[in-house]
Chain A
């Protein structure tokens, strides 16, 4: 789910919407720049007024007839479409014809078999290489790409996977990931290539890709399962659908941002289109392509656990099975390898993206930010790929094969059973202690269960009641006004239509229930996130302390902390909200810290020379200047929170999340698909309402 793991633990670009990230990171580029705050605010106000006025007239004309036609506050029944009949029919048709219809026999069947074959081939290679071979290969590749330190990290991480007794599941997950990532990258690169070269395709693809970025993965598991059945093919395909968009997006972006001067020069040499593409455009887009690869890998890994719900096997399945027996320790033992794989893959690909060879390994890989393409790109048009590296790679391959053979000859293919460390018991002990002592009866502040109860009664209930009590047309108007105030007519229209569609689908009330949970969680996330972000931006020590914590929480599968959350907060909506907050916090903290840090140093300097105190600097210089980053943090927070609130259906969150889980568990297409569609609508709505001018800015740039 969610996009948090996409943001790389080390590298700086914030999650998902990288184009927006790049513009946020360099505010000057969008033209928003360090304008004086007053002027900006008044401009914004004027802008909002001119838009809201015609809108108000429009609303005044439309509301009275709507009121007389469909009185009442809930969504009118006359405007809903009951899809359970046709969807149930479709589901039955698929099940009845799956073994015999040509569509399945000659199309889906072959896709499914090809996936199984590929995963199996990779799996056998990994098993055949044995633990020694795999560890050596990982270390050597990391060394070639990113230097000694990362090589050691890689070797240590893979060894820990073995130590935790998770060798075989790790290899299963790795095999699945390799296939899914390769397919995603090929698919994404092809789409990106097409969109990068053709303006029309770009315009057509962009909204689709934008939408894909905000979809919680849970929403589209069901259709995939129905066609392919539970198992690895369905898991791979769901992962591909989830992981390919960033690759497509960044490829297109990289191709379109190619330096005009270089292109001009190459064209004047009389090259053909293909030559220009292969020798100039693609090499120039190298940074973006590798960033795309990085994001694709992270998104694929974050699907590993969610895909276990539809039979992916491997580590995700271990997490899922451990949770069934309420065994947080075992779940963590299976979750940690995922975290480690994510950290290693992220850092290696990020280092590759920043072009740092063994020599430059010490520097932080923040060079992945897409702005670094320009100047030196001409120099490494081709050099980076070949050059002295080739012999090095041959050596790496030889060494890895040698180690693998040695391991084979020694008869040590599987991780030795005696070399494992059981972490489950101490972890469970800690969790038990925590829940026993914090659940209730803590003097003065009360236990966590009391907080959860109060949060439900005083925040969630009124919020849900308010949303559901508001007349439907009023809610649509509020959404339209909000979207208009910070976006364009088009975003407002999308947002309103998305909300209306939840009503049409007949899930108005559950959607609002989910929405209320999302809103409550977003507020909590932002309050904590901004506070922590400010603290981290002001003190290097706090940031250094926070970094590993953020890394772990960003890549840890959400399923792992669902159970501790229930133990602390009981069953219901409160734990769903708590899990969402935990999941979304790292991204928000990171973007906030980074935004505050990147505030123009000279502006700060001048404020300081004028005698501004620390607080004044923060309030009057840093926060206003970091505006774009903060808005990005809000947007990311909203998207991530939605993803986990949906998973909260597993811990009593109810509403749409429960319907999706129900649909999956009972194979009930009508319930699951409608809820999934409603989630998509909510995602669109929330994204559009929280996505401020950055996207428009990116459009202006032609990005």
Chain B
């Protein structure tokens, strides 16, 4: 654009405009300064990154990570119910995948993960090296990953539960998506899986089809079950879906300590993992009653399933399910509450 013609006839209006802009500039500068003053002129603390929704209206608040599976929702719902109704906290929940949740935990964006399926790499980085995350003890539930076929199919063909016979049934498990091979249905990309390596190392005539999310996988399994069709799927225990679609595990070559060390050479089953809780290190120290409750929180697979089933099967909201469970099981959760001084 052309330069303005040089002019001496500066009108009063222009002068007024100038003052106005100057005033506006000053206002902007002032607000910028205020912002800097509030955020602190020095270094920002990247390990204290709370959620903007936390502590609204003066409530004591806790942020919990919920993973996408329903068992984790059950943990969080019950803890949330107790925090809100017994200890007077406000609880925010955020759905995060497993690995990013570790990240968020170390930065203080969430205060706790209540169900972790074993992430040795992250555990070493954050718990041992950086000390930004502290262990919260065991959850009391043992997790197990495996390959499953529906029980109605396993009853008709008992030998399918041995991996050596899987190739025999490959054509029964075929779908349009798996091409000419049998389909091994895998779930969310966030889950621990060696299935691709397993299929190739055990020379199975199968194609791993990733459902992409647990929701999609469950929906597909339910559709198969409705039609009593055979299917082979990656799945895990404890999981409420077993109550609705009974499934039988396929025996893979037994798990031995360290046999899954090299991800490409894995040729053995998945281990049984005691599930654990992890807390943000600062929260673990200063979290008061909330942190104490979460450290004490420990229940059984059946108890977790009971709540999970209410959420997923009876379509109750997690909060309602937790309330219903808590009403029936007072003695169970009474001992989790921190002792009043």
Contacts and interface: CB of A to CB of B under 8 A. Distances in A.
Interface string B229-248: 00000000000000000000
B33 interface: no
A95 B125 contact: yes
Nearest to B179: A461
B98 A270 contact: no
A664 B100 CA distance: 8
A98 interface: yes
Interface stretch (B65-73, B140-148, B272-280, B329-337): B65-73
A98 B94 contact: no
B50 A116 contact: yes
A162 to B, nearest CB: 17
Contacts of A172: 53
A424 B212 CA distance: 24
A259 to B, nearest CB: 15
A662 interface: yes
A274 B24 CA distance: 15
B176 A113 contact: no
A551 interface: no
A323 B73 contact: no
A325 B73 contact: yes
A326 interface: yes
Contact of B56 (A104, A127, A225): A127
Nearest to B317: A330
Contact of B209 (A232, A567, A652, A657): A652
Interface in B16-52: 17, 35-36, 38-40, 43-47, 49-52
B44 A112 contact: yes
Interface string B68-97: 111001000000000000000000111111
Contacts of A461: 176, 179
B118 to A, nearest CB: 14
A206 interface: no
A437 to B, nearest CB: 11
Given A99-B132, A572-B177, A664-B100, A650 B1 contact: no
B260 to A, nearest CB: 16
Main secondary structure of the interface of A (DSSP, over half): helix
Contact of A665 (B43, B109, B189, B217): B189
A325 B44 contact: no
B315 interface: yes
Given A572-B209, A652-B210, A326 B44 contact: no
Interface stretch (A40-48, A452-460, A629-637): A452-460
A571 B1 contact: no
B44 A110 contact: yes
Contact of B95 (A114, A124, A274, A321): A321
A562 interface: yes
A321 B52 CA distance: 20
Contacts of B73: 321, 324-325
Nearest to A263: B1
B109 A563 contact: no
A308 interface: yes
A518 B213 CA distance: 21
A279 to B, nearest CB: 9
A275 interface: yes
B311 interface: yes
A74 B71 CA distance: 44
A273 B130 contact: no
A117 B35 contact: yes
Contact of A105 (B43, B98, B125, B312): B43
Contacts of A233: 49
Interface in A116-145: 116-117, 119-120, 123-124, 127
A233 B109 CA distance: 11
Given A116-B52, A661-B189, A230 B96 contact: yes
A585 interface: no
A653 B56 CA distance: 40
B122 to A, nearest CB: 9
Contacts of A325: 70, 73, 215, 311-312, 315
A654 B45 CA distance: 39
Contacts of A108: 44, 46
Contact of A324 (B17, B35, B70): B70
A110 B209 contact: no
Nearest to A118: B52
A317 B67 CA distance: 12
A278 B14 CA distance: 11
A567 B95 contact: no
B219 A436 contact: no
Interface residues of A, number: 93
Contact of B104 (A311, A575, A648): A311
A695 to B, nearest CB: 24
B2 to A, nearest CB: 8
A572 B212 CA distance: 9
Nearest to B190: A665
Contact of A109 (B43, B51, B100, B179): B43
A440 B212 CA distance: 23
Interface in B248-305: none
Given A116-B52, A270-B7, A650 B176 contact: no
B133 to A, nearest CB: 12
Contacts of B35: 114, 117
B220 interface: yes
Contacts of B227: 439-440
A572 B312 CA distance: 23
Interface string A256-277: 0000000000010011111110
Interface in A91-114: 95, 98-99, 102, 104-106, 108-110, 112-114
B109 A311 contact: yes
Nearest to B94: A311
Contacts of B36: 110
Contact of A571 (B52, B220, B226): B220
B202 interface: no
A104 B107 CA distance: 13
A92 to B, nearest CB: 9
Contact of A117 (B38, B213, B219, B223): B38
A340 interface: no
A268 to B, nearest CB: 10
Nearest to A229: B107
B156 interface: no
Contact of B219 (A116, A326, A661): A326
B306 interface: no
Interface string A274-303: 111010000000000000000000000000
Given A275-B17, A313-B92, A325-B70, A117 B39 contact: yes
Interface in B94-115: 94-101, 103-104, 107, 109
Interface string A555-594: 0000000110011001111110000000000000000000
A649 interface: yes
Contact of A457 (B7, B43, B52, B176): B176
Contacts of A275: 14, 17
A519 to B, nearest CB: 18
B5 interface: yes
A664 B33 CA distance: 36
Contact of B220 (A456, A562, A566, A573): A566
Closest 6 CB pairs of A and B: A109-B44, A665-B190, A572-B177, A105-B43, A662-B189, A120-B52
Interface of A: 95, 98-99, 102, 104-106, 108-110, 112-117, 119-120, 123-124, 127, 172, 175, 197-198, 225, 229-233, 267, 270-276, 278, 308, 310-311, 313, 317, 320-321, 323-327, 329-330, 424-425, 428, 435-436, 439-440, 449, 452-454, 456-457, 461, 562-563, 566-567, 570-575, 648-654, 657-658, 661-662, 664-667
5 contacts: A99-B130, A109-B43, A229-B109, A652-B216, A665-B188
Given A273-B4, A329-B315, 12 more contacts: A95-B103, A115-B52, A119-B52, A124-B57, A230-B100, A231-B104, A272-B14, A566-B215, A572-B209, A654-B209, A662-B189, A666-B190
